[in-house]
Amino acid sequence: MRTINLGLSGLPVPVIAVGCMRINKIGREEAAAFVKTALELGACFFDHADVYGDGACEEIFAGAAGMNPAVREKILLQTKCGIRRGVAFDFSKDHILQAVNGSLKRLRTEYLDVLLLHRPDALMEPEEVAEAFGILHASGKVRHFGVSNQNPAQIQLLRKFVKQPLAANQLQLSITNANMISQGLHVNMLDDRAVNRDGSVLDFCRLNDITIQPWSPFQYGFFDGVFLGDKKFPALNAAIDKIAQKYSVSNTTIAMAWLLRHPARFQPVTGTMNKDRLRDCVKAADITLSKEEWYEIYLAAGNILP
């Protein structure tokens, strides 16, 4: 699979990341077959979080991958920390260090390629985050860092104290959840789509070489369901199906290709545990939609142009 550089980290990563949030929903043999398929496809970047399955997803993945030094050399591991069940969010130095140590143990590895802060913490003290990142980087436990669901001002606050580059920002983005794109098209307009809800995070990340990792690339709403094949989106599915037929691929491939067509060079995070759907996602790396096709899909989703 083709690769991009993850922000300013210098780390080449596949353009498709494999999300492991649901790996605890399948059997261990099925999980092992899924990880094997991902690696055969070149999808060697696996996204985790300590909160997924309360840690079980990281453990299951390590078992499914048959983690050992030889396997570890072939994969890239990203996990997230900062969400605490029953508390909310915690970006304190002690919690970050404790969370990383827990993830390393569950993933059976001595280091993480990437660590993301999982959503913002209203009580964040950036000096503590910087101290934690410094310890983790100096010890070799974490090689690169990033955030998720953070706006430009929050990232700037972190960057004032954190010495390591913030390579990625994981944000919800799909054809039907494209506010970060839409508000940029409706500049100086009075309609609802002109409301800047995220501080122009898309442009900010592009200007600062921060890779956006779209999560839930096939979902509408907030985990309300998948728009592909859903009767709520007849025009969208008709447009996607027509273009999919032209390229002789599935609707999944075209929906993923829509994200990859954007010049921001996104790294979408899949959520499927189905080997065939993962194959369809990976095929998108070899398809470049035309501008006409991209806008046709965008408009079919109910988005409008000013």
In a domain, 236, yes or no: no
Give a yes or no: residue 189 inside a domain.
yes
- What lies within 8 Å, CB to CB, of 212 at 6+ separation is 168, 169, 170, 171, 173, 201, 202, 205, 264, 266, 267
Single-letter amino acid, residue 294: W
Whole domain around residue 114: which residue ranges? 3-227+260-286
Mean pLDDT of 27-42: 98
Q: How far apart are CA 136 and CA 254, in angstroms?
A: 39
Per residue in 141-163, pLDDT tens? 999 999 999 999 999 999 999 99
Residue 175 resides in a domain: yes
Q: Whose structure tokens read 């590895």?
A: 109
Helices vs strands, H then E, count in the chain: 12, 14
pLDDT at 54 over 90: yes
Question: Is 242 part of a structural domain of the chain?
Answer: no
In a domain, 56, yes or no: yes
Within a domain: 240: no
Share of the chain above pLDDT 90, in %: 97
Domain count, the chain: 1
Instruction: Outline where 8-150 has alpha helix (H).
Output: 28-40, 56-65, 69-72, 93-107, 126-139
Percentage of the chain surpassing pLDDT 70?
A: 100
For the domain that residue 87 is a member of, what is the CATH number? 3.20.20.100
DSSP string for residues in 27-52: -HHHHHHHHHHHHHTT--EEE--TTG
Q: Is the pLDDT of residue 85 over 90?
A: no
Domain-embedded: residue 152 = yes
Q: Indicate whether 235 belongs to any domain.
A: no
Please tell me the pTM assigned to this model: 0.97
Q: What is the mean pLDDT of the chain?
A: 97
What is the Rg, in whole angstroms, of the alpha carbon atoms belonging to the chain?
A: 19
Residue 196 in this model has a pLDDT that exceeds 90:
yes
What was the pLDDT predicted at 30?
98
